[in-house]
């Protein structure tokens, strides 16, 4: 029962990200921890609007696939695995490419200090330097920033963002907040020019 519930939540979270434009047709990923050493993750190379529970992959943190969906796991599976190993309190992870967050990172706009950032992220947003998407180096760098107490969001410079929480849906909600704040600050940035 728990497995089915988590699978539905992962799919719902990914579809919501897609509907809001926080991921594009083939980008972004969502996962849910199912045990100490295993998680469900969305597939790679599949249009986000058609992913269903049967599309998800159940895998161990070491990369062994326990239940293969119809597709291969996200290329960012290592990042999810290392975060789960680093943070035992995390049960949901979202990696998205929200346009305003990416633009703000490229322009050097700091999201900290905004009310929502203080409320939802305790004014702690980690910044990860540019690294190759899907690489072990990126996975290690992202997991490292989540070791800091209180960090539940990271901006991947010029790439996207990662949010973590006690559920996939809450991690998805955190991603919405990041994008909302980035949109507002970008408008302010444009107005001040």
Which helix or strand (DSSP H or E) is residue 79 part of? helix 77-86
Decide if 7 contacts 42 (C-beta within 8 A).
no
- Spatial distance between the Cα atoms of 53 and 150, rounded to a whole number of angstroms: 31
Please write the tens of the pLDDT for every residue from 106-151.
999 888 777 677 767 776 889 999 999 999 999 999 999 999 988 9
* HSE (side-chain half, CA atoms, 13 Å) at 61: 15
Q: What is the mean pLDDT of the chain?
A: 92
Please write the tens of the pLDDT for every residue from 64-97.
999 887 799 999 999 999 999 999 999 999 999 9
User: Which structural domains are found in the chain, ordered by start?
Assistant: 2-192 (3.40.225.10)
Q: Give phi and psi for 86, each to the nearest 5.
A: -75, -40
């Amino acid at each position: 029962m728990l497995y089915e519930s988590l699978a539905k939540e992962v799919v719902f979270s990914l579809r919501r990200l897609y509907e809001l434009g926080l991921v594009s047709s083939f980008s972004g990923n969502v996962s849910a921890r199912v045990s100490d050493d295993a998680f469900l993750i969305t597939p790679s190379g599949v249009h986000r609007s058609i992913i269903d529970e049967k599309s998800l992959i159940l895998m161990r943190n070491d990369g062994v696939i326990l239940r293969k969906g119809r597709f291969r796991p996200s290329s960012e599976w290592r990042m999810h695995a290392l975060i789960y190993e680093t943070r035992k309190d995390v049960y949901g992870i979202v990696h998205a490419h929200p346009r305003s967050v990416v633009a703000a990172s490229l322009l050097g706009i700091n999201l900290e200090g905004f009310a929502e950032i203080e409320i939802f992220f305790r004014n702690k947003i980690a910044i990860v330097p540019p690294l190759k998407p899907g690489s072990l180096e990126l996975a290690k760098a992202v997991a490292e920033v989540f070791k800091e107490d209180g960090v539940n969001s990271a901006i991947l410079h010029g790439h996207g963002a990662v949010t973590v929480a006690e559920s996939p849906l809450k991690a998805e909600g955190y991603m919405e907040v990041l994008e909302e704040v980035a949109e507002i600050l970008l408008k302010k940035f444009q107005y001040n020019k």
